Amino acid sequence: MGHCMVISTISTTRGKSFEYYTLTKKDVSCPTAVALRNFLPKTPRYIINAPLSSSFTIPIIQRFLSSLRTIQYTWDKNIGIAAVSENVWSRSALRKTHNDTNIDEGIKLGFRVSVKDVPNDASQVTIEWRIGTDVVLFESFSGKLKRIVQQSSHQ
């Protein structure tokens, strides 16, 4: 069973209203998209202002993402794409052994992380929600990445 949901990008942050799907011809071929189009927001983007330049921020993000149990993970230049089957960044998930055979391999959250330089030797990290229906999972991941990136200048 493949994932048939492709979501376009809009700029939005927590607390702002989302724009909702409009029915398109490609939605008709995907029953999930038709059923969920009025409930799911278009891909929200969570923007983090990082205190360090991208040359320092990117390795911090890469180190964090590579430590997670991901279904898929790639990084090219300043863009990373990953998918996870559950919340694998929380304390309880990190305490689980890596030999856990009861892991659900379905994608629960797919995301794209991009980093760009901004003035004053800082950078901006954008997390785009690509796959999944659990907004709490996306917000949890975004919050964890925000803490890691913003605390990096204090180490």
For residues 29 and 76, state if they share a domain: no
Report the percent of the chain where pLDDT is more than 90: 39
- The pLDDT mean for the chain works out to 75
For residues 108 and 129, state if they share a domain: yes
For residues 75 and 36, state if they share a domain: no
For residues 124 and 73, state if they share a domain: yes
- HSE of 106, CA atoms in CB hemisphere, 13 A: 7
For residues 26 and 82, state if they share a domain: no
Domain that holds residue 78: 44-154
Give pLDDT tens digits for 53-88.
999 999 999 999 998 888 999 999 999 999 998 888
For residues 126 and 95, state if they share a domain: yes
What's the angle, vertex CA 138, arms to CA 83 and CA 6, rounded to 5? 60
Say how many Å lie between the first and final Cα of the chain, rounded.
44
Give pLDDT tens digits for 13-58.
444 433 333 444 444 455 555 555 555 556 688 999 998 899 999 9
Total tally of structural domains belonging to the chain:
2
Q: What is the mean pLDDT of residues 126-148?
A: 92
Residue 118 has pLDDT above 50, yes or no: yes
For residues 78 and 135, state if they share a domain: yes
